[in-house]
Amino acid sequence: MDRIRIRGGRALSGNIPISGAKNAALPLMTAALLSDGPLVLENAPDLADIATMKALLEQHGLLIEHDRAGRRLIMQGAATNLEAPYDIVRKMRASVLVLGPLVARFGEAKVSLPGGCAIGTRPVDLHLKGLEQMGATISLDSGYIEAKAPPGGLRGATIIFPQVSVGATENLLMAACLAEGTTELVNAAQEPEIGDLAMCLMRMGARIEGVGTARLVIEGVRSLGPATHPVIPDRIEAGTFACAAAITGGTVLLEGARLSDLGAVARVLRDAGVDVAERHDGLQVSRLNGLHGTDVMTEPFPGFATDMQAQFMALMCVADGASMITETIFENRFMHVPELMRMGARIKYHGQSAIVRGVPRLSGAPVMATDLRASVSLVLAGLAAQGETIVNRVYHLDRGYEAVERKLAAVGADIERLAG
């Protein structure tokens, strides 16, 4: 298994190109199930999770070309197999996003239940209840969700989410595009990835109103057609590298990143003493003076992203004063805490809140983590730590960060991948 070695203490300086967003690209790929295509995604990231989604869609029967040099994914054909097997779904929960498109277009689907994961139990009840409201019959059998549309296909419905869910909004948005009549999604997630999916669906011929708001209204159409769509830049990758610049006291230009996509993350970074400036070609992030302890609470967009919580905590480990970090989205998303403490961080946590008391310097150590964002928070800590840090289980990073060590080395970090 590959590891990453970091020798800390160098301020970053230079430009970091931001890749297409993983969490936009995954649902966009499943949208290819809604038409014969071709659906061409531009600015597609080259990540392990994208390869997993490609394998899932290929086993459904789609033809997919990943043109790495051109950063494009070209998807076409109609699904011939309506089953998403456990072996793929257990690796990547976003696989459940094939459910809505398959039931809407082909009238049925059999999708493995994803099960729990490292950051929480993560049920899919909201996805299933929404489909039921659209007339589908759902049964759970031997670990699989079996969904069947009524004769004549799914019907439009008013679906009021009791809780904001990115995935449920995406699944039902896609299903609604081919349902009979009007669907209203109330208390829908407003993450930029939802807006990106809606834009792509509209390019394919869908009729959607309210994009960018918590109320989406979808007028079903009979069929969708081909489209070419650019994936939005990855706001979480941008936020992560903003923390890298800040934790090392450096200055970087995050090429292609957009301030509006960061939501509360930009405000919180500024409160902590980080300079974030929007330019025509991206975001310039620098930290020239000290960092101040700053409290955050994770919330749905435009609140502070749960996917940035671990990275911000790493930053707060070396800030002046204390910060209280509260995780409200997932129940088990503090797995980076004991690892950061092995590097000298002072953190106490109880339930959903952690108090971080800043220390002048972290010290390098061998560390490991059990999910993507926790792993990258340890890379950030390593960049600021005295001595050598080895981050184990790099496959977590490869799921969601493209060439993380190459991008950081290019702006002056002493970082390398150790094979084997």
Q: Which is nearer to ligand EPZ, 117 or 221 (CB)?
A: 117
End-to-end Cα separation, the chain, in angstroms: 5
Catalytic (active site) residue 200: no
CA of 173: how far to CAs of 104, 168, 209, 412, in Å? 11, 8, 11, 43
Residue 317 · residue 345 · CB < 8 Å: yes
Selected binder of ligand EPZ within 28, 44, 102, 166 (CB under 6 A):
166
Q: What are phi and psi of 184, to 5 degrees?
A: -120, 125
Selected binder of ligand EPZ within 330, 344, 364, 413 (CB under 6 A):
330
Selected binder of ligand EPZ within 234, 261, 307, 405 (CB under 6 A):
307
23 binds ligand EPZ (CB under 6 A): yes
Tracing tokens 């990540």 back to the chain, one arrives at 47
Helix ranges (DSSP H) in 190-342: 192-203, 235-248, 259-262, 264-271, 309-316, 336-342
Sorted by sequence, the CB contacts under 8 Å of residue 233 that are 6+ apart come out as 18, 19, 20, 21, 43, 256, 257, 258, 261
Selected binder of ligand EPZ within 65, 67, 125, 320 (CB under 6 A):
125
Q: Which is nearer to ligand EPZ, 171 or 392 (CB)?
A: 171
Q: Shortest distance, CB of residue 329 to ligand EPZ, whole angstroms?
A: 5
Selected binder of ligand EPZ within 54, 127, 229, 407 (CB under 6 A):
127
Catalytic residue (choose from 117, 200, 243, 317): 117
Question: Taking CB positions, which residue lies at the least distance from ligand EPZ?
Answer: 167
Q: Shortest distance, CB of residue 27 to ligand EPZ, whole angstroms?
A: 7
Q: Which is nearer to ligand EPZ, 131 or 408 (CB)?
A: 131
Among 6-14, 121-129, 197-205, 334-342, the segment contacting ligand EPZ (CB under 6 A): 121-129
CA of 166: how far to CAs of 127, 188, 198, in Å? 10, 8, 13
CA–CA separation, 283 and 302 (whole Å) = 18
Helix or strand holding residue 28 (H, E): helix 22-30
Helix or strand holding residue 133 (H, E): helix 125-133
CA–CA separation, 209 and 289 (whole Å) = 45
Tokens of 169: 């909004």
Selected binder of ligand EPZ within 17, 120, 302, 387 (CB under 6 A):
120
Q: Which is nearer to ligand EPZ, 206 or 310 (CB)?
A: 310
Size of the site for ligand EPZ (CB under 6 A): 23
91 binds ligand EPZ (CB under 6 A): no
Among 146-154, 162-170, 256-264, 404-412, the segment contacting ligand EPZ (CB under 6 A): 162-170
Q: Which is nearer to ligand EPZ, 168 or 246 (CB)?
A: 168
Binding mask 197-236 for ligand EPZ (x = CB under 6 A): ----------------------------------------
Binding mask 338-377 for ligand EPZ (x = CB under 6 A): ----------------------------------xx----
Q: Which is nearer to ligand EPZ, 120 or 387 (CB)?
A: 120
Selected binder of ligand EPZ within 33, 400, 401, 413 (CB under 6 A):
400
CA of 13: how far to CAs of 80, 236, 383, in Å? 50, 20, 13
Strands 144-148 vs 137-141: parallel, antiparallel or unpaired: antiparallel
Within positions 24 to 63, which residues make up the interface with ligand EPZ, using CB under 6 A? Answer: 26
304: β partners: 298
CA–CA separation, 126 and 131 (whole Å) = 9
Selected binder of ligand EPZ within 306, 309, 311, 375 (CB under 6 A):
306
CA–CA separation, 151 and 61 (whole Å) = 24
DSSP secondary-structure letter at 143?
T
SS3 300: coil
Which residues are designated catalytic? 117
Query: Where on the chain is the footprint of ligand EPZ (CB under 6 A)?
Result: 23, 26, 93-94, 120, 122-127, 163, 165-168, 306-307, 329-330, 372-373, 400
